[in-house]
């Protein structure tokens, strides 16, 4: 029952924000004073729903404590967190255009903007509630793929407007979302329920995609197409790490 309530609230809140964005042309970009409040409502749907559901069933203190839980995060997960930035550095020679200078102030603004309009608004819900619930009923990998599918559907309205996401070919974005979900799901599974790695990996992949533009991948599709292979390797490595630590494949139909 809890996942149904969580998903219902998530989509209700997020679609309410999206409806305002769709109805008000000036709100189409989160970088405007008009658009930012509505984008915050839309993006924060999963976390707001998670807070409401947790408050209702008395688990809010546990959810909040798991958001900053460090003690159960293994070293391999910290490598997963920085991996997207390392991938970008390794792929920089493949960029077909010149780099654009990036000052420290803009970098920190980019990190803060991505943190607020991304992982903080989503991961308490996607991983803290949904992944946690599904992990108890399915293999962790199955759970991650289910979360990834729902996560993708949740993003789809952004292709109905002239949004930053709509500049990315939907099939490319879909593949990336599923790979991200496996990587984040793996990190969550071996981190003892800590939501912090999910927040940081989500932030890392978003920042890497933003930095790719400055690194010479001016067209977002060039970065999203060329990085599929590296992210696939990272997702496979994540599965191997989970198996090495837990002995679980994450798939119920396999005997381990």
d(CA 220, CA 184): 22
Question: For position 256, what pLDDT does the model report?
Answer: 61
Tokens of 206: 């978003």
Q: Which pLDDT score, from 0 to 100, does residue 176 have? A: 98
Name the residue ranges covered by the structural domains of the chain: 67-246
Is there a contact between 246 and 132 (Cβ–Cβ < 8 Å)? no
Tokens 């996560």 sit on residue: 151
In the chain, alpha helices (H): 2-23, 35-43, 45-57, 60-67, 75-91, 104-116, 119-125, 132-135, 140-155, 170-189, 196-214, 220-226, 228-246
For residue 155, give the nearest of 138, 145, 168 by alpha carbon. Answer: 168
The token pair that represents 234 in the structure block:
């990272």
Instruction: Kindly give the confidence (pLDDT) of every residue in the chain, 256 residues in length, as a single tens digit, with 9 standing for 90 and above.
Output: 678 999 999 999 999 999 999 999 888 888 888 989 999 999 999 999 999 999 999 999 999 999 999 999 999 999 999 999 999 999 999 998 988 888 999 999 999 999 999 999 999 999 999 999 999 899 999 999 999 999 999 999 999 988 888 999 999 999 999 999 999 999 999 999 999 999 999 999 999 999 999 999 999 999 999 999 999 999 999 999 999 999 988 887 666 6
Using CA atoms, how far apart are residues 79 and 241, in angstroms rounded to an integer? 11
Cα–Cα distance, 49 to 154 (Å, whole number)? 14
The per-residue pLDDT for 253 is 66
């Amino acid at each position: 029952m809890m996942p149904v309530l969580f998903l219902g609230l998530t989509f209700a809140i997020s679609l309410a924000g999206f409806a305002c964005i769709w109805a008000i042309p000036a709100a189409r970009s989160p970088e405007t004073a008009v658009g930012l409040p509505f984008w915050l409502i839309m993006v924060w749907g999963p976390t707001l729903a998670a807070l409401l559901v947790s408050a209702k069933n008395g688990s809010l203190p546990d959810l909040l404590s798991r958001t900053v839980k460090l003690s159960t995060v293994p070293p391999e997960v910290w490598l997963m967190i920085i991996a997207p930035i390392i991938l970008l550095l390794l792929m920089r020679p493949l960029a077909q255009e010149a780099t654009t200078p990036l000052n420290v102030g803009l970098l920190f603004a980019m990190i803060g903007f991505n943190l607020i309009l991304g992982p903080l608004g989503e991961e308490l819900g996607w991983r803290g509630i949904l992944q946690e619930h599904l992990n108890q009923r399915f293999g962790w990998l199955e759970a991650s793929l289910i979360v990834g599918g729902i996560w993708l559907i949740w993003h789809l309205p952004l292709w109905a407007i002239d949004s930053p996401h709509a500049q990315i070919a939907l099939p490319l974005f879909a593949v990336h979302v599923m790979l991200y979900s496996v990587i984040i799901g793996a990190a969550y599974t071996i981190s003892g329920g800590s939501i912090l790695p999910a927040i940081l990996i989500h932030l890392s992949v978003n920042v890497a995609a933003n930095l790719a533009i400055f690194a010479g991948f001016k067209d977002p599709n060039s970065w999203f197409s060329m990085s599929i292979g590296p992210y696939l390797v990272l997702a496979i490595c994540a599965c191997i790490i989970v198996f090495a630590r837990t002995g679980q494949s994450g798939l119920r139909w396999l005997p381990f």
